[in-house]
């Protein structure tokens, strides 16, 4: 076996070194490569195919809710960025600036977009005139740049891919409805397409997006007990509209300021999939986003009729819309089994001379490794049924894991003890004061993940100061 093929043989155990396990997977499953640009990654074809499927599924959902795709410039003039003070201050430490154009120094610095609120606002100010122009429901697929000091593939890089929705509405009520609707779109996508249970809630003022009145989030728990912010949806109120003078003439013939929202998810979703479902053999991909949903591995393919039967099976599965691959390379079946386990292919179909003689094949599902001998007659429906069953199974496993790693704390000492000895979510009451939030960060090294929607209180006193509590909060360590 060629030396470069030994990559599929072993990865670091996640229980031994979770960070190294993650790095092994993103490299050995051919998701990324490192580049000469510090802090930036090359997304390889297999990794990009996962992103394309994510993009396709989300884009369909966005368009079903009336949103349209647009594209804004990559560069933002400094004067434009400075028109919303709180917003620019929030991104100042992460800004990347262009100061030269060719051999000439620019008269004004250009920021490489960290996000596009200001560009959308400038555009909306020029096209919105009356209530008839509202709502404006725009989305953009693009890359953004944030000069992160510490990077990790998919989870945090200086340039990453994402989508950013930016909408304008006539009233505060419409903007709030939009914000929560899009959070619901994200939550449904995470749970039904990715098999990742999420907690929906509101960010504290400390953790909300710069310039937002309210930030809502979907939070997922990874295998190592750390939280991952999956997607956010922001209600900006009329703050940006006032800064950019975005007004419309209402039905009562009066000028009024628009109300704005913004929402987005990024390629960090791929990191979330890896850390939620992966195991010591590699990726475990939900069928909805898997580039290959089923792989056919011929056994003893040198024998007469095996490849012909495998090709016929390939044609049948492909005709049913299954993303299928036939691996007729000269690698051994054992190598192929390890390779496609590493890549997280949901279903493997093994077909050899004895199977063909019996009119059957061997089917193995990636998540549970259950091996079944099934008839070739009606194999299309069998594979489709296994694909349909896999995501709910992934969800249930991840949900159980989250519940097993969710704890309650009533006192500061109890919270500190849990945070020092265990990993996961800690549910605790909070008075709403920033000082207490900062104290928990200092003493327990946890941050507020969200104030959950409809969460049952665990008490009536703040876990930190003992004063009357206002909110139940999920606390934890996060990526």
pLDDT in tens, 109-159: 999 999 999 999 999 999 999 999 999 999 999 999 999 888 999 999 999
- Which of 324, 473, 318 lies closest to 409, judged by CA? 473
High-pLDDT (> 90) share of the chain, %? 93
Q: By mean pLDDT, which of 13-27, 79-93, 453-467 is the weakest?
A: 79-93
Q: Looking at the predicted structure, is the pLDDT value of residue 398 above 80?
A: yes
Q: What per-residue string of b and e applies to 163-188 under the rule 16 or more CB within 10 Å gives b?
A: bbbbbbbbbeebbbebbbebbebbbe
Q: Residue 2's pLDDT is what?
A: 36
Q: How is the beta sheet containing 75-77 ordered, strand by strand? A: 75-77, 104-112, 96-101
**Domain layout of the chain by residue ranges:** 3-277, 294-388, 406-476
Query: Mean pLDDT across the stretch 378-382?
Result: 96
Query: Mean pLDDT across the stretch 34-53?
Result: 96
Q: Residue 344's pLDDT is what?
A: 98
- Which of 8, 5, 4 lies closest to 343, judged by CA? 8
Q: By mean pLDDT, which of 48-62, 77-91, 207-221, 294-308 is the weakest?
A: 77-91
Q: Residue 6's pLDDT is what?
A: 42
Integer CA distances (angstroms), 209 to 155, 296, 426, in order: 18, 46, 23
| Cβ-Cβ contacts under 8 Å for 346 (sequence gap 6 or more) | 285, 286, 287, 290, 293, 294, 365, 366, 367, 386, 387, 390
Label residue 188 by pLDDT band (50, 70, 90): very high
Query: Mean pLDDT across the stretch 364-374?
Result: 96
Query: Mean pLDDT across the stretch 57-63?
Result: 98
Q: How many CB atoms lie within 10 A of CB 427?
A: 21
Q: What per-residue string of b and e applies to 69-81 under the rule 16 or more CB within 10 Å gives b?
A: eeebebebbeebb
Question: In terms of C-beta density within 10 A (0-12 exposed, 13-18 middle, 19 or more buried), how is residue 308 classed?
Answer: exposed
- pTM listed for this prediction: 0.94
Q: Residue 88's pLDDT is what?
A: 67
Cα separation, 80 vs 84, whole angstroms: 8
Mean pLDDT across the chain, nearest whole number? 95
Q: Residue 388's pLDDT is what?
A: 98
Cα separation, 464 vs 479, whole angstroms: 24
Integer CA distances (angstroms), 176 to 200, 268, 420, in order: 15, 26, 38
High-pLDDT (> 70) share of the chain, %? 97
Integer CA distances (angstroms), 398 to 17, 275, 330, in order: 20, 10, 37
Q: Looking at the predicted structure, is the pLDDT value of residue 7 above 50?
A: no
Q: Looking at the predicted structure, is the pLDDT value of residue 417 above 70?
A: yes
- Are residues 31 and 47 in contact, defined by beta-carbon separation less than 8 angstroms? yes
Q: Residue 93's pLDDT is what?
A: 79
Q: Residue 9's pLDDT is what?
A: 53
Give me the CATH topology for the region 406-476: Translation Initiation Factor IF3 (3.30.110)
Q: Look up residue 176 and give its two tokens.
A: 């709030």
Cα separation, 92 vs 40, whole angstroms: 19
Give me the CATH topology for the region 3-277: BirA Bifunctional Protein; domain 2 (3.30.930)
Q: Give long-range contacts, CB 8 A cutoff, 24+ apart: 8-16.
A: 8/335, 8/338, 8/339, 8/342, 9/338, 11/280, 11/281, 11/282, 11/342, 13/280, 14/223, 14/224, 14/278, 14/279, 14/280
Q: What is the architecture, at CATH level 2, of domain 294-388? A: 3-Layer(aba) Sandwich (3.40)
Q: Looking at the predicted structure, is the pLDDT value of residue 4 above 50?
A: no
Q: Looking at the predicted structure, is the pLDDT value of residue 3 above 70?
A: no
Label residue 170 by pLDDT band (50, 70, 90): very high
Query: Mean pLDDT across the stretch 431-457?
Result: 97
At residue 200, the 3 state secondary structure works out as strand
């Amino acid at each position: 076996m060629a030396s470069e093929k030994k990559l599929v043989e072993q990865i670091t155990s996640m229980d031994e070194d979770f960070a190294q396990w993650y790095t092994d997977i993103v490299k050995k499953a051919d998701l990324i490569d490192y580049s000469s640009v510090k802090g930036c990654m090359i997304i390889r074809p297999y990794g990009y195919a996962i992103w394309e499927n994510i993009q396709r599924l989300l884009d369909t959902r966005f368009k079903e809710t009336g949103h349209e795709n647009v594209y804004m410039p990559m560069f933002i003039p400094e004067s434009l960025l400075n028109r919303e003070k709180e917003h620019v201050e929030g991104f100042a430490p992460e800004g990347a600036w262009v100061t030269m154009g060719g051999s000439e120094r620019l008269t004004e610095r250009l920021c490489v977009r960290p996000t596009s609120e200001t560009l959308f606002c400038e555009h909306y100010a020029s096209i919105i005139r009356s209530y008839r122009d509202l709502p404006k429901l725009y989305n953009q697929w693009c890359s953004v740049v944030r000069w992160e000091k510490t990077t990790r593939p998919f989870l945090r890089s200086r340039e990453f891919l994402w989508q950013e929705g930016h909408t304008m509405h006539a009233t505060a009520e419409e903007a709030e409805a939009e914000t929560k609707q899009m959070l619901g779109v994200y939550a449904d996508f995470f749970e039904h397409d990715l098999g990742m249970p999420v907690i929906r809630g509101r960010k504290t003022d400390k953790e909300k997006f710069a310039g937002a009145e309210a930030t809502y989030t979907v939070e997922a728990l990874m295998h190592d007990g750390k939280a991952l912010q999956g997607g956010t949806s922001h209600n900006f109120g009329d703050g940006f509209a006032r800064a950019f003078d975005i007004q419309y003439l209402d039905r009562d013939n009066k000028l009024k300021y628009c109300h704005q929202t913004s929402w987005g998810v990024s390629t960090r979703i791929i990191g979330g999939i890896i850390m939620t479902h992966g195991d010591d053999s590699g990726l475990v991909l939900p069928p909805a986003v898997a580039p290959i949903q089923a792989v056919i591995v011929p056994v003893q393919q040198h024998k007469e009729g095996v490849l012909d039967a495998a090709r016929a099976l390939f044609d049948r599965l492909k005709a049913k819309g299954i993303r299928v691959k036939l691996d007729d390379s000269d690698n051994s079946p054992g190598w192929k089994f390890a390779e496609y386990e590493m890549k997280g292919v949901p279903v493997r179909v093994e077909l050899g001379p004895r199977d063909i003689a019996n009119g059957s094949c061997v089917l193995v599902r990636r998540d549970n490794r259950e091996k079944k001998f099934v008839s070739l007659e009606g194999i299309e429906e069998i594979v489709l049924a296994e694909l349909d069953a896999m995501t709910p199974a992934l969800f249930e496993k991840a949900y159980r894991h989250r519940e097993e790693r969710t704890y309650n704390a009533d006192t500061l000492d109890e919270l500190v003890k849990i945070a020092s000895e265990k990993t996961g979510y800690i549910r605790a009451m909070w008075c709403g004061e920033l000082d207490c939030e900062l104290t928990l960060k200092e003493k327990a090294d946890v941050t507020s993940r969200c104030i959950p929607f409809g969460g049952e209180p665990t008490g009536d006193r703040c876990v930190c100061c003992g004063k009357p509590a206002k909110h139940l909060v999920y606390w934890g360590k996060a990526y």
